[in-house]
Chain A
Amino acid sequence: MSLITVMQQIASGFGATLLIFFCTLLFSMPLGVIVALGRMSKFKPLSLVIQGIISVLRGTPLMLQLIVVFYGPYYAFGIKLSTNWRLYATLIGFSINYAAYFAEIFRAGIQSIPVGQTEAATVLGYTKVQTFLKIIFPQMIKRTIPPVTNEVITLVKDTSLSFVLAYQEMFTYAKQVSAAMSSLMPLFVAGVFYYIFNLVVTIVMDRIEKALSYYN
C-alpha cells in the first residue's frame, strides 16, 4: 500500500474524530459550568455529591469509563444496544469526563475573581443571575483560557481512546491498516494528523486569548 493510500484510509476516519472532538466540547463545556456552580453550591449535600463524582471521573481511566458507559446499559438493565450506541456511548463518556475537568477549571476561575466584583454588582442592584452572566462569567472565561487550551489539546489526542469501543475514528483505522500491513507507518501517519490538528487548535486558542486581551 502506498503512502497516499494509507493517508486516504486514515483520513477517512478523520471526520469521526472531528465529530467526537466538537461534540465533546459542545456538551462538556456548558455541563462543566453547571457542575462548577453545583460544586460551589452552599447546599452541602449537592456540593459533596458533585465533589465525589468529579473525584471518580478524574481518578479512573477514561478508557474504563468509556467501556462502562458502552456496556453498562446491557449488563445492568439488559437493554439491547442499537448500532448507533457505539457513537452515543463515546460522546457521553467523553462529555462527562471532560465536564469534570472543565468544572474544576471553571470553579477555580470563578473563585479567582475578586469578591469586590460581586459586591459592586450587588450594590448596583444586579440580580444573582445578572451578576454571574454579565460580570463573573466573561472574566472567568478569559482567566481560564490557558488551562482550557490544555484540556482541548488533550482531548484531540484522547479521541483516539474511542478505538476501545471500536468506533471507526482515525486511530481505529490507523490500527487496522497497521495490522493489515504489519507496519508501524500508518500509526506514524496518524500521529502526524493529530499533531497538525493540535497545531490548528493551538493557533485558534491563541487567537481567542488575544481577542480577550483588550483588558487585564
Chain B
Amino acid sequence: MSLFEIKNVSKSFGDLKVLNDITVSVDKGEVVAIIGPSGSGKSTLLRCATMLETMDSGELIYHGEKAAANDAEGKAVYASNAELRKIKSYFGLVFQQFNLFPHYDVLKNLCDAPIHVQKRNKTEVVKEAMALIAKMGLEGKEHYYPQQLSGGQQQRVAIARALCMNPDILFFDEPTSALDPELTGEILKVIRQLAQEHMTMVIVTHEMAFARDVADRVIFMDGGYIVEEGRPEDVITNPTEERTKRFLARFAENG
C-alpha cells in the first residue's frame, strides 16, 4: 500500500484548467522530485495534496485513509473535519516563503503545534525540538525570532517545525527558490541528509542537479499534465519526450 496517493485529480481556476487527471503515488521511504516550468501545475498539485487547495475531482489518500473521494457525479468530496485533522498529522509541508510565525521564537515555532494540536507532553516535545534544532545546525538559536535569522536558517527552522510533528511524508514547495545560491546549498544538504535517513519526501524544485542526485523518481509536469515520469537518470539525463528535452535544454543553457 502506498503511503500517499492522489488519483485522477483535476483542478481549474475559473476557465484555466491547472491539473488534468493527474495520478501520483508515493511509497514509504521514496523521494520524488516534481519538475516543470512555471504554471505547469506542480505547486497546485502539492497544494491539493496538502489540502490547501480543494480538488474539483479526484481522490486523496494517506495510508489507505481517504481524505477525499469522488461522489456519483465525479466531484471530490472531503472527509469530516475530525478525519481530516487526523490525516493532516500524516504530512508536513515546507513553503517557499518559510511562513514561520514571526511572533514566536524558534523553539515555540517548533513546539506550539505538537503541544497544542497534537496534545503531546511538553517536556518531551521541547526535548525533541532541541534535538531537531541541533540537527539543523541551529544550536543556540532556539530563542531567536525568525527575522533575526538568515533566509537559509529560517528555512531550516521551517523544516524542523515540520519534522517536529513527526510526519510520515514531507512535502517541499520550491524550498530554495527564495534563497541565494549559497543558502540554497545549506537547504539541499539538509534535504539530502533526510533522504539518507529514508524520510519520505515529495519535492517541487527547479534544482535539476539536486533532483537527479537525491530523487528516486522524477516527475516532469507541463500544462497541468504529467509529461514524463521515471528514474532521474532517464527523465533528466535521457528524456524521451520532446517537451522535457526542450525544458531541460533551457536549464543547461542557463547553467
Query: Most A CB atoms within 10 A — which of B92, B95, B113, B147?
Result: B113
Q: Interface size on B (CB < 8 Å)? A: 26
Do A119 and B99 have beta carbons less than 8 Å apart?
yes
Residues in A whose Cβ lies below 8 Å from that of B169: none
Q: Is A176 an interface residue (CB 8 A)?
A: no
Report how far A117 CA is from B52 CA in the complex, Å: 12
Do A120 and B101 have beta carbons less than 8 Å apart?
yes
Q: Is B97 an interface residue (CB 8 A)?
A: yes
Question: Assuming A119-B52, A124-B165, is B102 touching A216 (CB within 8 A)?
Answer: yes
Near A by CB (< 8 A), chain B positions 38-89 give 50-52, 85, 88-89
Do B99 and A116 have beta carbons less than 8 Å apart?
yes
Do B101 and A125 have beta carbons less than 8 Å apart?
no
Q: Is B103 an interface residue (CB 8 A)?
A: yes
Q: Is A215 an interface residue (CB 8 A)?
A: yes
Query: Most B CB atoms within 10 A — which of A124, A127, A130, A216?
Result: A124
Do A135 and B101 have beta carbons less than 8 Å apart?
yes
Q: Chain B 116-156 against A: per-residue CB contact (8 Å), 1 yes, 0 no? A: 11100000000000000000000000000111000000000
Residues in A whose Cβ lies below 8 Å from that of B50: 123
Do A138 and B103 have beta carbons less than 8 Å apart?
yes
Do B147 and A126 have beta carbons less than 8 Å apart?
no
Q: Is B112 an interface residue (CB 8 A)?
A: yes
Report how far A123 CA is from B91 CA in the complex, Å: 8
Q: Is B93 an interface residue (CB 8 A)?
A: yes
Residues in B whose Cβ lies below 8 Å from that of A214: 145
Do B99 and A216 have beta carbons less than 8 Å apart?
no
Do B116 and A134 have beta carbons less than 8 Å apart?
yes
Do B116 and A130 have beta carbons less than 8 Å apart?
yes
Residues in B whose Cβ lies below 8 Å from that of A134: 112, 116
Residues in B whose Cβ lies below 8 Å from that of A216: 102, 145, 147
Report how far A125 CA is from B93 CA in the complex, Å: 11
Q: Is A122 an interface residue (CB 8 A)?
A: yes
Q: Is A139 an interface residue (CB 8 A)?
A: yes
Residues in B whose Cβ lies below 8 Å from that of A116: 95, 97, 99
Quote the shortest CB–CB distance from A216 to chain B (angstroms). 5
Q: Chain A 193-216 against B: per-residue CB contact (8 Å), 1 yes, 0 no? A: 000000000000000000000111
Quote the shortest CB–CB distance from A123 to chain B (angstroms). 5
Chain B interface residues toward A at CB < 8 A: 50-52, 85, 88-89, 91-93, 95, 97, 99-103, 112-113, 116-118, 145-147, 161, 165
Interface pairs (21), CB distance under 8 Å: A116-B97, A116-B99, A117-B99, A120-B95, A120-B101, A121-B101, A123-B88, A123-B93, A125-B113, A125-B117, A126-B116, A130-B116, A139-B102, A139-B103, A215-B102, A215-B103, A215-B145, A215-B146, A215-B147, A216-B102, A216-B147
